[in-house]
Chain A
């Protein structure tokens, strides 16, 4: 059963017709939102990021304590003013002195608040950006197989959602210190003023705490349900927007609106329930406050009448009671923030702990322009899973300046060869030499400059055409870039764009055709001006006109450099100096077109079928050939 089926609307009049296969939106597989309240390991890792800011942490904590203390002093000053400053026969000037002291306290309060909020706010942001930077930097180095298996969306939610909840956690932590101090302070101040009255009033405390804990479990379930229902409805809306052309072409508007209305109805119910639960605390807290105040009025009045305390103490009590429930409310809310932060922190450390497989050796040297453009595979065995090699003992070499085509059916290991030259992965056996040096002995940065790469799917970044062609080749001047574009035949269409080379490309270059994007990625490789070009030819069917342009550009691109091309088109293959035929991870043939034709092997068979592209050849044919050859 797919997870969507359980939530399908049931047909109210089940008349034996086939059930309705229609849903809008999808069930999101939610991650754990809450973790344990305290996870020592996670806190330890987060502390690494906070540690550099230690002095600021202490300042923030000190400021929050001073702030709380000054808040606590105010009712005491009022009490002192009432009982001493205003009493008949009080020494003249005492009231003024008390109010002067009051002024001093509020000045301290002001300064402490300013410092505390500013330092905490900035600190939390700084730590957040540091964590994000470390993660992003780490993702630049982790193994590509991790990146291949992990959706970008998932990583983005690590980099955004989870990092943000760490920020919330840090701000909350400092605030919690203040809340706890306030609660303790109020209790101590009341006990100090009159311990018997204080004990009476404090009885409300465990009641509120108990109610709050019971409430929290229920309320949280309701909040989550509302949140989830809301994001489901939003998901369905996003789907309707992205898929609007499909919806209209299949006339699903009316049915979808009905299904959406049901979804929104559920959201409404969930939100109403969550509102109700959130509001229900108001009368409870108000009632408890009322009880506490009533107790102070009756018991306090009685004690004042007996003369044990003065009326100012009672007023101070009334002030404290009104502040009393705030820290409890915010502490129980912070409990949830903590749990959420632990879950996020756990996911963050998972990303930070992904091992970096490919690293520069300690004594790695740079490949320099003086090194030649040769490539050699020497008995290479490699598998993403070492038990299932995708390349088995493959050896071949490409001399500097030569163009070699790698051909073979899908799954023969062509793409893996390409990744290995660039040392995206390390081989299990054998070695790969670039410019005569083992790729494991050179720096990755210099390897990247020595080799330019064109991927099967052209990938463009948001930015101008100029920035896209130059990309990381910061040394290329504007003229170099234009020259590269001219060479691959992209200059014309670039000039025809509204702002020429300064035209902004939409996301992934969606304002360009596939062929144009391909030409730009060629220009980018050309601008990098590397000794070696590794190219994975596109398989998608482009119209024949663009195809011809691309073929021309390819010839220009390979001029004067070593070329290693994963070729699909016969034209490209025939143009190569040499052809290496791979099948199921093994090299089975090697030679130029004429030699391979004369051999009458797999290549000759494939070629004689006269398909425009090797990839068009039905799998049965290559399979039959493979069986025949073994």
Chain B
């Protein structure tokens, strides 16, 4: 692009890495929670199923203890019946525990998926509606991360944070009550590993999460270096830069590897310490309980209950950190996600907007001025007035940065002018519906983005129900048809990022073709033939002669030959029109247009 579309670096509209404050995080958690309970039946089912699932879980150690005591009693009263009864209870409780856990997990995950589905649709719609000024100041990578990673963080909230909180509080609460009631000292010994494991687990997960973000950044540097190297391999080879490139690779690689090693150490230290704490508690229970058993204070069954209970409690307690982490993640991810969803849409329909009615097809600019965001009001264009009638072709010339593209972007309301007004047949563009403006003003942009789909789908982008005949017709006008016929699947050939790659000129021709599918009142070519050779361009212009009769055509170009058909030419400099008139008038004027004309006609003399 030769025209700076907007100030890139400063004044970022949206940043993924921007830290969120605690208040925003808390608000996000509240909002996510409220959203989860919109799927009322499932959410309550998940919570309700948790209670019996925990109770069944806790029943198992008790039943096992009974079984042990009953077995010992068999020596005196050899009756199989009670033992069989206990076994059947054990089986039933196990099955029920499985079923309730299934219900709890499935319902909880399904809340997450439903939430993700809704949020995805909202994010998608929002991103499409946010104006150019937002997208100019936002890295596409940041938006993609919100839509993928942050969404994931929010999705996991219900099952990993909320339901797990209930599960753990019930499990530890009721379990502790039961144990302490059975034997206060032994109960405390059995639970003694819980605070330590909970603390280490949470600390570890929070550290891992923080360092994960840093590691991702380091890996990002590495992958950027690799990607740039591979994409620019010709430059690398041309400068025999292999040692230089390997050194860059090694530096980034070592940085990431060292950091990754540190993370492994954090994880290993904590997990082993948690195991040790658990087994230490178990040893204490064994020692104290064994003495009690020997003294006849408690039964072997009670001891077995304590030990089994500990093994059941172990996993959830060790995973407590995951729950803490899920809260932390949901609050930062949620805050960013809602920041995006709540972003104001600066360009939208006015409350009482009606569709634009095109009658005469006259475009009028009245003293139009515009300044980009974050440029301290420095006008990129100012004081532009123009009236163009149906059938007229207007050429726009000027050095890079003169404001040509900026002016063109005001016509389809990609931005709203900060001063003056733009009207079509007397209706201010800001007062009619956005959709009708975009239908009335079509623009072939400098940078032609192609969608990864077939050529026909790309051409028919603005009119998906078009007849084959029409698609072929516009392709012919854009001088694309012959090329398409030479492709393996012709109009069905997939192009775009993952399809057949087209040359710059072919892309621009495809971009022209898809714009021709529209029937606008105003058609803009924004430096959109730069990569097309002069011969092909003049054939395109010839094919469009009839099409141009029914509308206003504006052509931004560098090559004077592109403006052969122009009725009038505006010459811009520093955001203003400095020369205006027919080509002949401007040539006679002997100003900037003439200088450019001379330069292009005999370049060697000027060099």
Contact = CB atoms under 8 A, between A and B. Distances in A.
Contact of B308 (A2, A133, A318, A459): A318
Interface string B218-232: 000001101111111
B10 to A, nearest CB: 8
9 contacts: A26-B494, A86-B290, A99-B283, A121-B264, A136-B249, A156-B227, A248-B414, A294-B90, A311-B300
Given A110-B276, A140-B245, A569-B603, A252 B68 contact: no
B35 interface: no
Contacts of A514: 1-2
Interface string A536-552: 00001111111110011
Given A144-B234, A290-B94, A294-B87, A17 B465 contact: yes
Given A282-B105, A474-B244, A612-B603, 12 more contacts: A74-B282, A86-B303, A129-B253, A129-B257, A160-B223, A241-B140, A252-B462, A268-B114, A293-B91, A471-B239, A513-B2, A551-B607
Nearest to B597: A544
Contacts of B144: 234, 237-238, 241
A301 B71 CA distance: 5
A63 to B, nearest CB: 11
A237 B531 contact: no
A220 interface: no
A291 interface: yes
B250 A133 contact: yes
Contacts of A236: 124
A225 interface: no
B238 A275 contact: no
Interface string B279-295: 11011001100110110
> Which 6 pairs between the two chains have the least Cβ-Cβ distance?
A448-B240, A290-B94, A286-B98, A283-B98, A472-B241, A305-B74
B383 interface: no
Interface in A448-503: 448-449, 451-453, 455, 459, 461-462, 471-474, 498
Contacts of A268: 113-114, 116-117
A548 B86 contact: no
Contacts of A257: 121, 124-125, 128
A597 B468 CA distance: 50
Nearest to A1: B492
Nearest to A256: B128
A324 B433 CA distance: 67
Contact of A275 (B3, B71, B109, B257): B109
Interface string A295-333: 101101110110100010011001100100000000000
B101 interface: yes
Contacts of A136: 226, 229, 246, 249
A144 B454 contact: no
Nearest to B239: A472
Given A96-B287, A543-B399, A139 B279 contact: no
A319 B311 contact: yes
B112 to A, nearest CB: 9
Contact of A4 (B3, B109, B113, B457): B457
A257 B126 CA distance: 10
B64 A121 contact: no
Contacts of B435: 251, 254
Contacts of B290: 81-82, 85-86, 95, 98-99
Interface in A245-262: 245-257, 260-261
A428 B524 CA distance: 51
A133 B438 contact: no
Interface size class for chain A? Answer: 35 or more
Nearest to B9: A511
Contacts of B4: 513
Contacts of A589: none
B94 A286 contact: yes
A424 interface: yes
A152 B399 contact: no
Interface string B194-236: 0000000000000000000000000000011011111111111
Interface residues of B, number: 166
Interface stretch (B16-24, B327-335, B374-382, B443-451): B443-451
A282 B242 CA distance: 54
A506 interface: yes
B168 interface: no
B493 A237 contact: no
B390 interface: no
A290 B64 CA distance: 11
Given A21-B460, A569-B603, A26 B453 contact: yes
B93 interface: yes
A242 interface: yes
A302 B240 CA distance: 82
A188 interface: no
B123 A137 contact: no
B275 interface: yes
B584 interface: no
A284 B95 CA distance: 8
Nearest to B99: A283
B587 interface: no
Contacts of A29: 498
B120 interface: yes
Contact of A152 (B147, B230, B243): B230
B245 A2 contact: no
B232 A2 contact: no
Contacts of B603: 544, 547, 551, 569-571, 612
Contact of A239 (B451, B465, B518): B451
A227 interface: no
Interface stretch (A41-49, A379-387, A579-587, A614-622): A614-622
Contacts of A506: 8-9
Given A110-B276, A548-B606, A272 B461 contact: no
Interface stretch (A112-120, A179-187, A199-207, A211-219): A112-120
Most buried by B among A96, A129, A311: A311
A155 interface: yes
B438 A250 contact: yes
A301 B123 contact: no
A392 B331 CA distance: 67
Interface in A79-131: 81-82, 85-88, 90, 95-96, 98-99, 102-103, 106, 109-110, 113-114, 117-118, 121-122, 125-126, 129
A297 B67 contact: yes
Contact of A571 (B286, B451, B492, B607): B607
Nearest to B455: A2
Interface stretch (B77-85, B184-192, B541-549): B77-85
A237 B147 CA distance: 7
A434 interface: no
B70 interface: yes
Contact of A140 (B83, B116, B236): B236
A574 B412 CA distance: 45
B87 A21 contact: no
A305 B445 CA distance: 89
Given A275-B106, A290-B90, A253 B128 contact: yes
B88 A455 contact: no
Interface string B115-133: 0110011011101111010
A375 to B, nearest CB: 15
B596 A544 contact: yes
Contact of A249 (B8, B287, B307, B412): B412
A286 B99 CA distance: 9
A574 B602 CA distance: 12
A581 to B, nearest CB: 18
B135 interface: yes
A132 B1 CA distance: 35
B304 interface: yes
A612 B606 CA distance: 13
A99 B303 CA distance: 15
B75 interface: yes
Interface string B358-388: 0000000000000000000000000000000
